[in-house]
Structure 1
Amino acid sequence: MNEQNEKLRVILLKPGELAEIVEIDDNLESMQRLVEGNIEEYMPFEDASDPRIGDCAVVCNEEGKMRGMELNRGISDQNGRLQDIIAGPFFICYAPVESEKFLSMPPDLEEKMRKKFEFPECFFVSGNRIQSKKSEPKKQDREHVTER
């Protein structure tokens, strides 16, 4: 099997931009290029109504916060409370426990996760908590929204 020909569909999330579905080569170098450094897998999702959500992985730059990369998207618990903020570009893919590698998500799950993270977020402190708010995408992405 030639790994160079294998593709992986992922949801790419860049700070200030709309979520987009992209195909990347299924290899470490492509993943590192996407997140601009060494990758870290993070499995923060839970949803009792769809257990497959727990098999979705955030793949981000392991040093994103330490390097001061731009804040991107918040990760909230099932009650909507902000639990973490991912810094820098990252992608979401499918990583069921029984698989030894990252996979493309089933189409219905891919669309559900894309919608969940579609719009960029800005972060602010309110009282003693950090909160997030969906924000307007950068100009080139606003044009993309009207084309849909």
Structure 2
Amino acid sequence: MHMEENTLSVLKIAPGQYPQQVEIDNDLKALQQAVGGSIGASYPFADDPIAIVYNDDGKLMGLPLNRALWDEDGL
């Protein structure tokens, strides 16, 4: 997939849906729009430059849960 300099190719993973590859603008406003509010980021894979970007207030807002992340011990 061709990626423009000012866009990000990402996997959009909405609750209850299959992952979907999309392109979004590479700026704060586009990230906030993608998650529906304030963004938070997690980097769960130490050796990979992969971020999980999410709505930082989603739990407080009662948004539906999405996917669980488990470590190699199932925790």
For the residue of structure 1 that corresponds to 2:66, the secondary structure is strand
Which amino acid is 2:8 matched to? Answer: L
**What is the Cα-based RMSD across aligned positions, in Å?**
1.4
Higher relative contact order structure (alpha carbons within 8 Å, sequence separation ≥ 6): 1
Could you give the per-residue CA deviations for residues 104-147 of structure 1, whole angstroms, max 9, x where no partner exists? xxxxxxxxxxxxxxxxxxxxxxxxxxxxxxxxxxxxxxxxxxxx
In the other structure, the counterpart of 2:20 is 20
In the other structure, the counterpart of 2:34 is 34
- Of 60, 67, 90, the residue aligned with 2:61 is 67
Counterpart mapping for 1:1-148 below 5 A: 6-46=6-46, 51-52=47-48, 55-79=49-73, 81-82=74-75
- Percent identity, please: 37
Give 1:44 shift: 1.8
Q: Greater helix share, 1 or 2? A: 1
TM-score (norm 1): 0.45
Misfit runs of 4+, over 3 Å: none
- Equivalent residues, number: 71
For 2:72 and 2:31, the matched residues in 1 are separated by 28
5+ residue gaps, structure 2, are none
